[in-house]
Amino acid sequence: MATPTGNLTERRPTRQIHVGDVAVGGGAPVTVQSMTTTKTADVDGTLAQIYALAAAGADIVRCTCNEEAAAEGLARIVPRSPVPIIADIHFHVEMALAALEAGVQGLRLNPGNLRKPEEIKLVAAEAKDRGVPIRIGVNAGSLHPDLYKKYGGATPEALVESARMELAYFAEVGFDDVKISVKASSVPLMIDAYRLASETFDYPLHLGVTEAGPPPGGLLKGTAGIATLLAEGIGDTIRYSLTADPVEEARAGRQLLEALGLRERKGLDLIACPSCGRSEIDVIAVAQAAQAALENRNLPIQVAVMGCVVNGPGEAREADLGIAAGRKRGHLFIKGKIVRVVPEDQMVEALVAEAERLVAEGVEARLAAADAGAEAEAEADRRELLDAKGDDANASETRVDLIRKRFGDEAAPIT
């Protein structure tokens, strides 16, 4: 087993391929993929969605190629796309060949649907001549009937065997510019299939839970499968398969990689306390307002919204920026240090303004620009709330006395 790096297992070594100018595998950053839901023949509509996906974090986008009009659309889309385009092919070899003529940077073939060996080898040979990689996209819901019969259903072994059979056809024409997926809608099956694939192949793996459904359930299933494998060092590119606007897929993929430390932060990470009886504000409402105000500004920082000033700044001291409520006021803090106290109704406005300055000027400059007396003013608010509402901290010395009495050591110093 690979040695752990931080809290994640070291990534499994794989070959590297290139989808256009995007590297996949071989130590390259894990990439995010999504798929358009427009008709590919609608060039302008599809391009608009591709640009939205790229803005949300997609590194690669897949488009269906199921008819001649779609192939013609791809010929017009590819040169104008901000990211590499993969053509999704299911049943017709003609569509794969037409997509290659259209200039796509990758193909996805479903070996359960495109089954004739000579057609598979023809596509691989054409892709080889053009330097275009192919994803072998195995799906538990569309396995070859012979594999269902041999393995008694869609098992991890059946999914991996499907990929192995496709690779054998590719090998006959000397093609190995490949990545592999072994997707299933069952999270446990998907995890086991990818674990087996990672032991069997050294090709890069494309992770996903297929047909995961709408959010929030689809997000939970996708995260359960993808994050589990990434934490084990398995996976080189990912896609959430949601019954939703595909922009949600791209955003979720990017956020997951950032949360795991596998990609540098590109956008907002907003954290907030779950709220409790000590909260001085409606934490949910303020957090939602802050999210709405900040998320489209592309500020690569972590922002905290905390419900009270008693523990908020301390608990969120690792956040780049945060605000905590108390006595109808908001305590604005940077890396746990109070820099400003603002009226409660200006909390979100102050948070947004400081976030923009923080990104533009840096932490040290903004700490140096802190309001004089802000920390003392905030501490006075905090002490007043502690006195008024009480806190476990108030009872700590009493508890220490009780412990000392239990051990008959009332005079023992605290060390």
First-last CA distance in the chain:
42
Is the domain of 304 the same as that of 352? yes
Distance, CA of 162 to CA of 272 (rounded, Å):
45
- Report pLDDT for 7: 65
CATH number of the domain that 377 lies in? 3.30.413.10
Q: Which domain holds residue 294?
A: 269-394
The answer to whether 17 and 11 are in contact (CB under 8 A) is no
Q: Which of 296, 249, 250 is nearest to 270 (CA)?
A: 296
Take residue 395 and report the two structure tokens written for it: 């009872």
What confidence category does residue 276 fall into, taking pLDDT thresholds of 50, 70 and 90? Answer: confident
CATH number of the domain that 227 lies in? 3.20.20.20
Classify residue 377: in a domain, yes or no: yes
Residue 329 CA from chain centroid, whole number: 35
The answer to whether 10 and 199 are in contact (CB under 8 A) is no
Last residue of a domain, one of 225, 241, 259: 259
Amino acid letter for position 4? P
Is the domain of 245 the same as that of 112? yes
Q: Which DSSP symbol is given to 208?
A: -
Is the domain of 182 the same as that of 73? yes
Calculate ∠ Cα 111-114-117, nearest 5°.
90
Average pLDDT over the chain reads: 91
The percentage of residues in the chain with a pLDDT greater than 70, rounded to a whole number, is 93
Is the domain of 129 the same as that of 229? yes
Q: Is the pLDDT confidence value at 320 over 60?
A: yes
Q: Which DSSP symbol is given to 140?
A: G
Is the domain of 11 the same as that of 73? yes
- Report pLDDT for 18: 98
E strands, 218-293, in order = 237-238, 269-272
pLDDT tens column, 185-194: 999 999 999 9
What confidence category does residue 317 fall into, taking pLDDT thresholds of 50, 70 and 90? Answer: confident
pLDDT tens column, 352-383: 999 999 999 999 999 999 999 999 988 888 88
Distance, CA of 338 to CA of 68 (rounded, Å):
62
Residues forming beta bridges with residue 33, ordered by sequence position: 60
DSSP H stretches of helix in 260-346: 283-294, 312-315
Please classify residue 267 by burial: count the beta carbons closer than 10 Å to its beta carbon, then call 0-12 exposed, 13-18 middle and 19+ buried. buried
Is the domain of 308 the same as that of 169? no
Is the domain of 254 the same as that of 306? no
Domain total for the chain?
2
Q: Is the pLDDT confidence value at 4 over 80?
A: no
